[in-house]
Structure 1
Amino acid sequence: MGFIIELLLNALVLLILSNVMKTVHVRSYSTALGVIVVVALLNATVGALLRLPLNLVTLFLLSFIVRVIVTAVMIKLADVFFKGFKVDGFKPALIIAIVLALVGAAFSFIW
């Protein structure tokens, strides 16, 4: 149940960020929810394959930074799959990934 609430919350955060940032465009809440689900699936599959060698190189000392960068890459990849979602550049994707990580940490602390 907590995972579903976190997905809904992350979609809301993505929608809010699209209203705040001029370089992020989300058509609707349902598009934001679809993007978050795709990013979560990509992080669970492709992201895990990317994080493993990167964490080995950094000796697991920079795990949070590696996770945020891989999430930003997955956000840019989700940009390709959705017509109603557009991120102009890697820097906005990185900002979204950082905010989503902070919201996820706060949610896990509260929940």
Structure 2
Amino acid sequence: MGFIVRVLISAVAAMFTAYLLKPAVKVENFTTALILALVLALLNVIVKPLLVILTFPVTIVTLGLFLFVINAIIILLAAKLVPGFRVDGFWWALLFSIIMAIINSVLSGLAGSN
């Protein structure tokens, strides 16, 4: 049950973030946002740990700031995989990932999920 709530919260956060970044980021509808949330969850479980391990020295040198770049890469990869989700470039993907993380955190706090 917790996973379903987290996916729903991520879908709402993706819709709201896309609304805030309207010209550069587009999510067609809530179904696309749900698929995006599932794909992001899958990419965060499979691809992100591999990228973190491969870029560990760079992450150490940049004091962890390179993790933002990894998040942007994950968003760009999701944009390639999910039809109906579009991001105009790397910087918009970076901004999308930061804003979505903040909104996701606030909504998770309001929902009371861990």
Q: What's 2:74 paired with?
A: 74
Gaps of 5+ in 2: none
Q: What's 1:7 paired with?
A: 7
Structure 2 counterpart of 1:35, one-letter code: L
Aligned length: 110
Distance 2:103 2:17 in 1: 12
The answer to whether the Cα contact below 8 Å between 2:59 and 2:67 also exists between their aligned partners in 1 is no
Q: What's 1:103 paired with?
A: 103
Identity %: 33
TM superposition shift of 1:38: 0.7
Over the aligned positions, Cα root-mean-square deviation in angstroms equals: 2.4
Gaps of 5+ in 1: none
Structure 1 stretches of at least 4 aligned residues deviating more than 6 Å after TM superposition: none
Taking structure 2 as the reference length, the TM-score comes to 0.79
Distance 1:27 1:59 in 2: 38
Q: Does 1:27 align with 2:28?
A: yes
Q: What's 1:47 paired with?
A: 48
TM superposition shift of 1:61: 7.6
Distance 1:68 1:8, change over 3 A: farther
Distance 1:2 1:61, change over 3 A: farther
The answer to whether the Cα contact below 8 Å between 2:11 and 2:37 also exists between their aligned partners in 1 is yes
Distance 1:9 1:60, change over 3 A: farther
**Aligned partner of residue 60 in structure 2, secondary structure:** coil
Structure 2 counterpart of 1:53, one-letter code: L
Distance 1:58 1:23, change over 3 A: closer
**Aligned partner of residue 83 in structure 1, secondary structure:** coil
Distance 2:105 2:17 in 1: 17
